[in-house]
Structure 1
Amino acid sequence: MATDYDASRKTEDEQKEESLEARRLASGDQDKTSGKVDEDEAEAAENFELPGADLSHETLTIEVTPKQADEFTCTGCFLVQHVSRRSAPGADLCNDCA
């Protein structure tokens, strides 16, 4: 038996739902504000911190722990990594930077 690959593979429920949506769009009952953004550009720009900004009034909200004995600082990316991420024994490069 031959299969018609161009035939619609949608169920009757999906076809009914599409036809209802098409009728709603054609009648103009869509939300008038759906394409608009309610964000003020000046207000959004106030929330961005520029590099070199004075952050002396800010406080840390996380606890910073010192480097542990089983960690090293990668000389390529300067991230503190676990020794299992070391590219070679005795090297201070992580697997990603090697």
Structure 2
Amino acid sequence: MGADYDELRPDVRESQEDSLEAARSANAPDARSVVRDLDGDDLDGGDVPGGEILDAELTVRLVPQGEDEFVCQSCYLVRHRSQIARVHGGAEYCADCEA
């Protein structure tokens, strides 16, 4: 007699049924009540769930492209010139993108 390999094993089927029943009986809010709660909240007051709003600036030091570097026109990463795999119409492509 042949085996039906697409049929779930009995222990897996029971586990899935138990999980479904547990999810149905859980006291989780439905999606509509969550949307209503979020619509009613006023986030302009500075209260952000799970965090805080900081009034700080981000300072980033920019380093100019070196003479031995290029920007791949596929992934837009700065690479060393030794990684040039193809030049097409003045556009340079790295070895990772050509692989």
Which one has a larger percent strand, Structure 1 or Structure 2? 2
Same fold per TM (> 0.5)?
no
Q: TM-score, normalised by structure 1?
A: 0.41
Larger Rg: 1
Which one has a larger percent helix, Structure 1 or Structure 2? 2
Q: TM-score, normalised by structure 2?
A: 0.41
